[in-house]
Amino acid sequence: MSELEKLRQQAERWARLRHEQDGRALPEISEFDERALKKLIYELQMSETSNSDEPNDLKSIKALCDMPEPLGMPNDIEKRIYGAIAARFAGCTLGVPVEGYQIADMERIAAGDGTPFPPTEYWHSAVNPDGVQYGVDKRSNYTLSHIEYVPVDDDITYLVLNMEMLKKYGSKYSVYDMSEIWLDILPYACTAEDEAIKLMRNGVPADHAADHNPFVEWIGAAIRADAFGYVCAGDPAAAAELAYNDAYLTHRRNGIYGEMYTAALISAAFCVPPIEAVNIAKRCIPRNCRLRKDIDWALSQKDKVTDHNTARRLIDDRFGRMDTVHIENNVCAVIFALMLGKNDCTQAIANSVAMGLDNDCNAATVGSVTGAYLGIDGVEEKWYKPFNDEVRTYLTGYEKVTVSGMVKDFTEMYLKNKENKL
């Protein structure tokens, strides 16, 4: 990619962010030369419009929320955590071979290799099967006949990272603690996370690592929320607050709210059905922010969401040119998948993948929510038996961990947290 093309891409991302935040017109980037692009990028970086409905600091965020009371102590907590982790890994693994694909492309692949669609079992084949994900696993390792463990992905890796972070620093961790563990064991990242880690390696303080970043309202923080939902199972407000520092490291405004909401959603699902959990979790983000309005819109569409096709059309009609890895459209896709799943884990993750967008991330979240609600006994064995209790990551020093070890660690941390000892 030429330098001019890189500048155009950067300018387009900044312009889209500002357009989404305050409705300003999108410029015709193609008409700008290199000098004009650099000037435009600087102007867009420095011209964020203040919005009192969308603050970044935790105190102001909480003042604009209707935080729910704790829902109680979930029964069978270890089984529920096992269900959440196993179904998260299943949803992610199911989504990776078709991450970001259009529905028509997925339908063609399914028709060609015999995979049911929506995919109620792992894909039978993968495009570019010898391609390598994150420098670790061939794409064929995510398919039905080749899965021998939980293959690597960022959704998997961040859950392990945040587990280790909580074990080391506990529930009082700071954004600086988070940055230390990132610099110690996270070798690389994508989009917002990549921007933050590069800046921190160059000496930028952790609390400023997301200050000038066009990806601050993308999905990256939300995919890191699960650990906080697990250790605060049944207490969605506490889960949202615990997720805040992790989100603040890389995101701002609705990017932060996306992780707080997702942590609260997973926490609530340990006690109530998924759609009820959505209604509870939305109270953990500012009542007038864009994401809260989008969640309310998604809930209002229940009678129109009849299958994955209608769900995707509704999303496309509302969000138009929004990037496919933005937080707002993908949160709505998760809600629609939970509606279509009707408390059935297989149907929920299958429809989540079938909708497209950031479908491996979304199916992982949908798996976490439904698995937390159902427990491991409600997750079909076909989803987790092929994992053989092994998980792969790209974290330095944590390249292989076990599912059973993660269940044990999260259960122990949940119990410590209940006793205020985490």
Q: Along the 422 residues of the chain, how does pLDDT read in single tens digits? A: 899 999 999 999 999 999 999 999 999 998 899 999 999 999 999 999 999 999 999 999 999 999 999 999 999 999 999 999 999 999 999 999 999 999 999 999 999 999 999 999 999 999 999 999 999 999 999 999 999 999 999 999 999 999 999 999 999 999 999 999 999 999 999 999 999 999 999 999 999 999 989 999 999 999 999 999 999 999 999 999 999 999 999 999 999 999 999 999 999 999 999 999 999 999 999 999 999 999 999 999 999 999 999 999 999 999 988 999 999 999 999 999 999 999 999 999 999 999 999 999 999 999 999 999 999 999 999 999 999 999 999 999 999 999 999 999 999 999 999 999 99
Determine, yes or no, domain membership for 356: yes
- Predicted confidence at residue 1, as pLDDT, reads 81
Determine, yes or no, domain membership for 119: no
Determine, yes or no, domain membership for 207: no
Instruction: Identify the residue whose tokens are 């609530």.
Output: 268
Q: How far apart are the first and last CA of the chain?
A: 47
Instruction: Indicate whether 331 and 374 sit together in one domain.
Output: yes
- Asked whether the beta carbons of 216 and 207 are under 8 A apart, the reply is no
Ramachandran angles phi, psi of 321, nearest 5°: -85, 5
Instruction: Indicate whether 25 and 78 sit together in one domain.
Output: no
Tokens of 106: 């997925």
Determine, yes or no, domain membership for 57: no
Instruction: Indicate whether 155 and 14 sit together in one domain.
Output: no
SS3 content of the chain, % helix, strand, coil (to 5): 65, 5, 35
Determine, yes or no, domain membership for 209: no
CA atoms within 13 A on the CB side of 260: 30
pTM of model > 0.75: yes
Determine, yes or no, domain membership for 212: no
Instruction: Indicate whether 301 and 360 sit together in one domain.
Output: yes
- Asked whether the beta carbons of 340 and 308 are under 8 A apart, the reply is yes
- Predicted confidence at residue 212, as pLDDT, reads 86
Instruction: Indicate whether 355 and 411 sit together in one domain.
Output: yes
**Structural domain of residue 387, as residue ranges?**
73-95+150-174+226-241+267-275+285-418
Tally of domains in the chain: 2
Instruction: Indicate whether 91 and 9 sit together in one domain.
Output: no
Instruction: Indicate whether 299 and 165 sit together in one domain.
Output: yes
- Asked whether the beta carbons of 303 and 81 are under 8 A apart, the reply is no
Tokens of 385: 């038996």
Instruction: Indicate whether 231 and 351 sit together in one domain.
Output: yes
Determine, yes or no, domain membership for 261: no
Instruction: Indicate whether 232 and 364 sit together in one domain.
Output: yes
CA atoms within 13 A on the CB side of 368: 31
Q: Distance between CA atoms of 330 and 366, rounded to whole angstroms?
A: 11
Instruction: Indicate whether 30 and 154 sit together in one domain.
Output: no
Determine, yes or no, domain membership for 187: no
Instruction: Indicate whether 165 and 297 sit together in one domain.
Output: yes
CA atoms within 13 A on the CB side of 255: 28
- Asked whether the beta carbons of 179 and 203 are under 8 A apart, the reply is no
Helix, coil or strand: residue 287: coil
- Asked whether the beta carbons of 231 and 409 are under 8 A apart, the reply is no
Helices (H), 170-307: 175-185, 191-201, 226-231, 236-248, 254-269, 274-281, 290-300
According to DSSP, residue 218 is labeled B
Of 235, 221, 247, the C-alpha closest to 365 is: 221
Q: Distance between CA atoms of 36 and 44, rounded to whole angstroms?
A: 12
Ramachandran angles phi, psi of 402, nearest 5°: -115, 150
- Asked whether the beta carbons of 21 and 220 are under 8 A apart, the reply is no
β-bridge partners, 390: 402
Instruction: Indicate whether 304 and 378 sit together in one domain.
Output: yes
